[in-house]
Structure 1
Amino acid sequence: MDKSDYLGPSFFIDCDAAPIREKSGELTANIEEPREKAIRIFNFVRDDIRYNVYSPRPSDEDFKASHVLARGEGYCVQKALLLVALARAAGIPARLRFAEIRIHHTARSIAEKRGSNVFPYHGLTDLYVEGRWVKATPTYDLGYCRKAGIAPVELDGKTDALLPLCTLDGRLNIEYIQDRGFFDDLPLDEIRKASVSWKYLTA
């Protein structure tokens, strides 16, 4: 594996954009260890970029990492893209990963409008830290976690940081149906075709 393949920019992962470079530099200033840089960036994306399942996504531009940063909110795929871009700007190899999941705490109104509580392309991130790839899921901010009754995802840079399987009171929260693997860039056409919610969420 050539780690340099996961350091460069793309249309969606615009880690060379000035706002991305500036924010990444601000977050990692005076930090030497890549693992600590990764944790700092992860915490920013998790908490400062608010989770919003209704975040705009009608155009390709809505998925650019710099646009997500400027908007200050996003859903799982958009937040994963931003984490990849900020990490790459800090010199940390990063790539997108997708999984098909079933969310049991999804609000009834959302599930009814979508017709399903299965999300075929849940977005997360792989970060290359201390010689290995670590999964990182920055989807839910602390405020959302408190409302939903779930533990926030914590990144230590050594173990995979995934959404909790159960709520704090023991109810089933997430089922991982299948791992779709990692991607060099955003497979937006595939996501649009697979997502039963696409028409609803872009209306």
Structure 2
Amino acid sequence: MQTTYLDENTNFDFSSDAIQNLIKTIENNISDDTPLDFALKAYYYIRDTWPYNPYRFSLIENDWRASKISKRPSGHCLDKAILLISILRAKNIPARLGLAKVKNHIAVDDIIEKFGNDVLVPHGYVEMFLNDKWVKATPAFNKTLCEKLNVRPLEFDGIEDSLFQAYDCSGNIKFMEYLEDYGGFDHVPLAYMFDLMKTTYPPLQTGDFELGMILDLKKI
């Protein structure tokens, strides 16, 4: 059977009260939007409602449920991608999780110090099917954080891919670039993501880190 990227599963539990309440908030009691209109509303809501937080990474399967993620005060790129995918699927808009390796030129200093580089793995984005084609969007960096980093917020029109800001507002300092794309997924491949992290970050290769725990990157 061909994957439609519309199904509910453990990660994208869009029939939950938490996700249905998010949809009502986004719709603002108006439900006659076109799929494109709704997708744009959802993108901006997810982008700016949850401040970007790269420090918490759970290796617990049950933590990767949209309904649980929605109750946290902040989230990293993967958290926010999962929320957006769940909301889109609930509105019958096909959506899937994209994973990539990115280089952050304006990176978080203490993460560089701990891991020895400014490569971020895995970076999560969203692929959604709008107007008969797949388009990519990254709702990771909220507007307030972008202002702090002197980077323009990443806009999305639902027509063209919106994946990263190449430079800061000056146009002279590089911000982010994609190094490798691992493709799209119908679920959250947690074991695969952890393998990518261990390959990229040698400190995670010790027996102190394994599936079933939560990584607090501030304490590693």
TM-score, normalized by length of structure 1? Answer: 0.92
Match of 1:178 in 2: 180
Structure-1 separation of matches of 2:180 and 2:138: 16
2:136 counterpart SS class: strand
Match of 1:23 in 2: 22
- For structure 1, the 5+ residue unaligned runs are none
For the pair shown, the structure with the greater C-alpha radius of gyration is 2
Name the one with the larger helix percent.
1
Moved >3 Å (runs of 4+):
197-203
Question: How many residue pairs end up in the alignment?
Answer: 202
Q: Cα gap change, 1:12/1:87 in structure 2, threshold over 3 Å: closer, same or farther?
A: same
Match of 1:8 in 2: 7
1:99 counterpart SS class: strand
Structure-2 separation of matches of 1:54 and 1:119: 12
Structure-2 separation of matches of 1:13 and 1:127: 14
Structure-1 separation of matches of 2:32 and 2:112: 42
Deviation at 1:56, TM superposition (A): 5.1
RMSD between superposed Cα atoms in Å: 1.9
1:44 counterpart SS class: helix
TM-score, normalized by length of structure 2? Answer: 0.85
8 A contact 1:24–1:87 mirrored in 2: no
1:127 counterpart SS class: strand
Higher mean alpha-carbon deviation, 19-28 vs 141-150, is at: 19-28
8 A contact 1:45–1:82 mirrored in 2: yes
1:180 counterpart SS class: strand
Identity between Structure 1 and Structure 2 (%): 30
> Is 1:201 aligned to residue 216 of structure 2?
yes
8 A contact 1:164–1:174 mirrored in 2: yes
Structure-2 separation of matches of 1:72 and 1:160: 27
Match of 1:190 in 2: 192
